[in-house]
A and B are shown apart, each in its own frame.
Chain A
Amino acid sequence: MNDDYSSKWGYRLKWLYTLLVVTTLMLPVFFVMYISFNENGFGARDYDFTFEWYGLIFSDLLMMEAITSTLNLSAITVIFVVPMGLITAKLYKITQYPLAVISLMLSPLFVPSDILGAALLVFFKNLNGAFTLFGEWVGVSWFDTWFDLGYFSAIVGLIIYTLPYVFVVILITMGRYRKEQTEAARSCGATAWQAFWHVEFPQIKTGVFSSCAFTLILCFNEYTRTSLLKGGFDTFTTVLVSQMLNEGMSEQSYAMSSLVSYIAIAIIGSVIIFTLVRSERLERIARAKAEPLMAS
């Protein structure tokens, strides 16, 4: 809140600064958008405005295939990681060892992508070797491909990457929830499951849905862990990198990543606007309701 004596201009200047920093951080994004509308592509001298590249996005078959498989990978990760984050947040509320839980869940934030990727890569290779040996010893080849680098290992890497974010977001939205509310629902006759859906979930669903969206975006855009743990050039980012290494990114790729950013900005923007509008509306209603009763 702005108090009565502080200068209006200082306040505005600080807002301006905040927005300026956000804009600066977004510059590379805006630049990609800018290139995506240039008929002559990246690095050209002349700038001719065109929508052509957006029309051609779907003609880049290699890229389309990669995007499909990346979306699959991201969706599977979301399906696993969001319930895991929810469970861990609940565990954090009831456990006798909250410190141990939270340290384990948040420490992946502090392990850089390449280091975790390298360790997991060697881990899976070892696991694979051990299981193959075990299979040979038992005399079956059934275990041979269990821990091959591929979808499974990549999903494990992505879960570890995104779990801390999901956990924190859901934990923050659990703020108003108390376990007495679930107990009250139980004593009203609800089963454990009904109590969860009627009482707990409505309060944390913002957190659950926003962490779904955030996880999807993070996984879709992740390069290091995916490339180390999955191998091959068949996901969105790995195809981009192979393009960079060869003839440079295709113009469609700029259009594609711009498209992704439009979607993401639209989602985040509408969340911001929606919640702001809603909280103002609720406040108005509350005030309107409170007034006649206060008067009486």
Chain B
Amino acid sequence: MNKHTYTLGTRRGGSNSTSPFFVAYPRLGSFISKWVFAFPVIFMGLFFALPLALTFVWSVFERTMFWMKPAFTLFAYENFFTSARVDNFLASMGHSSISVLIAFIIGFPIAVFVRRRVPQVAQHRVILLFILPFAVSEIIRIFALRPFLQRNGLVNDVLLKIGVINEPITAILFTPTGVIIGEVMSFLPFIVFSGFLAMEAVPKYVFEICEDLGAGPIHVFIDVIMPLAAPGIFAGSLFIFVNGLGVALLPNILGGPGAVNAGLIATQAISALDFPLAMAVSAIMMATLLGLLYIGHRLFNLTRILTPLS
């Protein structure tokens, strides 16, 4: 190395090193970057957190002919809790829970398998397969389930042909069973995604230790996977549960008269211009969600989900 010239700027080629504007006004640059970083947070606060928080306020407003006006009345809640709506809501909670269970039993082993057995580089690719169904609009996918499930649909045809049943099963479409099938079909990928993330919390050597100790798969699941992956499993299950309660399309297209969930009640209320009722249903949903999140956090410390992300 030869000797250097010890003057500022020459090495850097002067002006190309930094914009003269920001040298002159360095504080402006940091001012802008501060607000740029704050923007998404402000946006979500204003258009997501605030409207959802305000549902609690609007739910006690008084219904007018086409809109609502500020007041304090529990009429909307009374309307909800003293009609068939509350029964439908509770029933849809039951259906949603069954969907969670089925989706978990079908989907979670896939997440475990991919994490344990598939080569590291290919893992994300395999998980990516599960976003393929999203290529087609949810309404078309759900609508396309009808010909499968109806009386002369594909499922009955096949079952009749191979002789499992003699009479077509009528009790699939337009019943809670249909809704549950729809929920599992729509939301199963999410238990695979969250399970995959959750399995990050279970190091591979744990399986080797289990093999070494001779623990069977059920023991491995209950003693090792469950405690370590619980936050992720909970998050995935909660996702399916609340969407089962809140997505109106499913009962609308697949459900019968009895299958009405919170989402459908809310949209029907909006069509009927009963905004306080819609807001009351939304508020009840939000309360349910927050309550479940709180319980989940107390039980599993949900912040553990974030470890693989940071």
Contact = CB atoms under 8 A, between A and B. Distances in A.
Q: A and B from one assembly?
A: yes
Interface residues of B, number: 87
Contact of A111 (B37, B136, B185, B242): B242
Contact of A114 (B43, B126, B264, B309): B264
Most buried by B among A11, A115, A236: A115
Most chain B beta-carbon contacts within 10 A, residue among A42, A116, A240, A249 = A116
B136 A28 contact: yes
Given A2-B117, A18-B114, A221-B137, A90 B47 contact: no
Given A32-B144, A221-B138, A261-B135, A109 B239 contact: yes
Contact of A90 (B37, B107, B131, B148): B37
Interface string B268-305: 00100001001101100110010001000000000100
Given A18-B110, A114-B267, A260 B126 contact: no
B52 A26 contact: no
Given A25-B188, A122-B279, A264-B135, A276 B264 contact: no
Contact of B267 (A31, A118, A120): A118
Interface stretch (B12-20, B73-81, B165-173, B222-230): B12-20
A257 B238 contact: no
B270 A110 contact: no
Interface string A101-141: 11011011111111111111111011000000000000000
A92 B45 CA distance: 16
A51 to B, nearest CB: 20
16 contacts: A14-B113, A18-B113, A21-B107, A24-B185, A43-B147, A93-B310, A99-B303, A112-B247, A112-B263, A114-B264, A115-B282, A123-B47, A125-B67, A240-B139, A257-B136, A268-B132
Interface of A: 1-2, 11, 14, 17-18, 21-22, 24-29, 31-32, 42-43, 84-85, 87-88, 90-93, 98-99, 101-102, 104-105, 107-123, 125-126, 156, 159-160, 163, 168, 171-172, 189, 191-192, 214, 217-218, 220-224, 228, 236-237, 240-241, 244, 249, 257, 260-261, 263-265, 268, 271-272, 275-276, 279-280
